Structure 1
Amino acid sequence: MKKFSLKGKTAAVFGGLGLIGKEIASALGQAGAKVLLIDIDEEKGHKIASELGAEFIELDITDIESYDEKISAIWKEQGQIDIVVNTAYPRTEDWSDKFEDVKSESWRKNVDMQMNSYCLLTIKFAELMKKNEIKGSIINLGSTYGVLGADFEIYKGTELSCPPAYAAIKGGIINFSRHAASYYGKYGIRVNALCPGGIFDNQNPEFVKAYESKTSLKRMGDPEEIASAAVFLASDASSYVTGTAFMVDGGWTSI
């Protein structure tokens, strides 16, 4: 279908070197978009961008004070950006601490690096789209744990868990995306939260077994499946879709 084509569009993928971000960048490129791979590792970034036929841009999403200058410079250089996908996942070393061990300073830093950066990037790009009359698509990476509480039983006997701040941050990103969609809709700008379930990444087998038992499809997801949903949300095929928490979770949230 022609509506799935992204030919003639430019897509900026933040966190483009991550497990999900890289697959999304690849899929957007395959759909015809010019892809800007945006991350902090310059050496790895140029290598991956070359493999994907993308352009690498070094930018630290946690450096919020530099957004006005750097984002404006990227926009000016590219002419326009039609699609923005934020998959960045910056976090502190003590990110995975349990509830009883959370430190207030660490909490504030993680909220600032993740949720605040997502929200402020959304505003910056939406304003540029509005000013330049671009009916763009902004996609923020949410999570099933942004709409449901964690089932901590599936982590028993493993080193894994779900950080307390993760739920707060992803829930905030999802509802902010709804809020932004409501505000910018009249300008033809769409904002959605793409919410993956558990993605297989060679986790502890006991965790994988427990997780899969909680999904309707009885398996974990693949990064390519998240990327396919991103192409849909980026394209004109989803022209009437905005303000959603778009679940790609194998039925996790349906049970």
Structure 2
Amino acid sequence: MLDGPVPADQSEVMDSRPTQPSPDRDQPLSGGDGADGGRDLPLMARRMLRRADRAALATLQGDNPRPYVSLVGIATDTDGAPLLLLSRLAEHTRALMASPLASLLIDGTAGFVNPQEGPRLSLQGRILPIDCDHALRRFLARHPGAALYAGFADFSVHRMTVERIHWVGGFGRARWFAPVPALEGEARDLWEKAEPGIIAAVNDERDGIRAALAARNGGGRGKLWPLVAVAPDGCDLARAGRPGGGGKSGVVRVAFPVPLSDPDKVIPTLGELAGL
């Protein structure tokens, strides 16, 4: 399920300068604090979550609840909600069946000599199973090796409804805020319907765009990096390893400068980002 490290883009996540923690009053994701960089924090946090392929999952276990932490693979839905593919035989899934309350820790500290100077996100909310082919496809796009067991009877996609986010950007740089989805309602339906066509068009006809995007974002040649996921705030290129875990794989996240309002703008935007 965990195909390879995809560290957060440290240049992006470390540029913001959030205010001191205020746990008693969540701030909306759409708000900001002007000069201190708070206005950019929601976008930076979302980009960090989009790039992540794994997280620490904290659940409450047992009739006399005790905290339990495990490692899970994650992806994101079109609106940015975390997706997990879990077996009901696993300890964390049994805990979620008893209580959906959970937390995910996204670690962006790779490359920091002192990890406490690096960025991380703690997401609080509820994780519940969903029956959604679109969500499963997005998870498998991020974790292609999971296709080996995704159809087993005990596995199902779970989606986290995020209620609160705690961002830590380093020493003395932390903030709580309330989530706002990347898109909702009809807009979400529009993007979900448009995604397969965009992916097919880019993968079938635009090798040059994929090659340039992969090279500019830390990947390799375009043929090894097909486009696998599309959302208003960016796209994913993925290189799959061999089934069974052999070979390296990974994901290149291509973040748009600003979220797009129209799926028709995706391909022109990718061309601009690729310099073509």
Fold match (TM-score > 0.5) = no
Q: More helix per residue: 1 or 2? A: 1
TM-score, normalisation: structure 2: 0.26
Q: More strand per residue: 1 or 2? A: 2
